[in-house]
Amino acid sequence: MEESDAIKIAKGKKSPPDQLKGLLGISDEVDLLLAKHPNATAEMLDDICMRQSFDEKICSAALAHPNISPEQLLNVGYQYPLAMFRNPSLPSIMQSRKNFLGEFSGEAFEESFKKEIPLFVIDWLLSHGKAEYQVIFISAPKRTPEILEKFRSSKYSKVVATLLDKDANTYLAWATDLGLDTAAIAQLSAAEIRSNIDAWVGLLVGKKPETPKGAGASMERSASLPKDLGNALTSIEDMYFKGGRVPVGESPNFTTNSLDCWKTPLRQTRHLANWS
């Protein structure tokens, strides 16, 4: 059959599968049309992927086709994961085959998490993805606050620590959970927010920052905590801040003015601790 005739048939939306099958392999252009054809069967798409696995355009079209088999997605999807993520049948495949994406690996699969990916893949990433995959995803630029907020519940401390470094809103939320009245510092720059919270956490766990004369005693009285709570905060600091946070005594923004946002929450924290 002439290529021109094959192209005409492949472009016909009503061309039946039996007729389309006879066009396989005539040319790359015909294969691309077949990979996108609504009547392409799983068998045809398997054939295209096997022969055209190194052609990103053709193979990606086949991987995004809803009729492709899950087995073929496993065979080739790791090479072009972003195309696979576009497949409208992938969510249902993931529901029927638990942790389907967990069977994938490789450089291209990891790199895909630097890109924009569908929400259902993000949800899988949070619930089942490896720590390194989550770190790659949240470290990429242009992640919305709503998406980053999802990963605050990650089971991996490495992911949460990375998120604390990347996202000032997460840092504020974490400090709020510890009892800091973050409204007092929410309008500061990200660097100033981090510096003030670092100093505040250091104060809670018993570090002695260098402060202007007379301020240290007031702060020390406000930071009196039960031993168990102090130990818990020390553990939290070790988990999230070791090796990455600025030592409290070296904080360039540790000033007398910053004490105003500490005193009330510190007293509140002590008050709450007395109820335990």
pLDDT at 32: 96
Per-residue model confidence (pLDDT) at position 220: 39
d(CA 139, CA 56): 26
Q: Please give the chain's pLDDT, 276 residues, in tens.
A: 788 999 999 999 999 999 999 999 999 999 999 999 999 999 999 999 999 999 999 999 999 999 999 999 999 999 999 999 999 999 999 999 988 999 999 999 999 999 999 999 999 999 999 999 999 999 998 899 899 999 988 888 888 888 888 887 887 777 777 677 767 777 777 777 777 777 777 776 555 445 444 333 333 333 444 566 556 666 665 655 554 444 444 433 333 344 344 433 333 333 333 322
Predicted local confidence at residue 235, as pLDDT: 63
**Per-residue pLDDT at 191:** 78
Token representation of residue 21: 């099958």
Residue 38 · residue 15 · CB < 8 Å: no
Residue 262's pLDDT is what?
40
Q: Residue 183 has what pLDDT? A: 73
Quote the pTM value.
Answer: 0.69
Put residue 237 in one of left, alpha, beta given phi > 0 → left and psi -120 to 50 → alpha: alpha
Q: Tell me the chain's radius of gyration from C-alpha atoms.
A: 28
Burial of residue 266 (number of CB atoms within 10 Å: 0-12, 13-18, 19+): buried
Report pLDDT for 42.
Answer: 96
> What's residue 165's pLDDT?
80
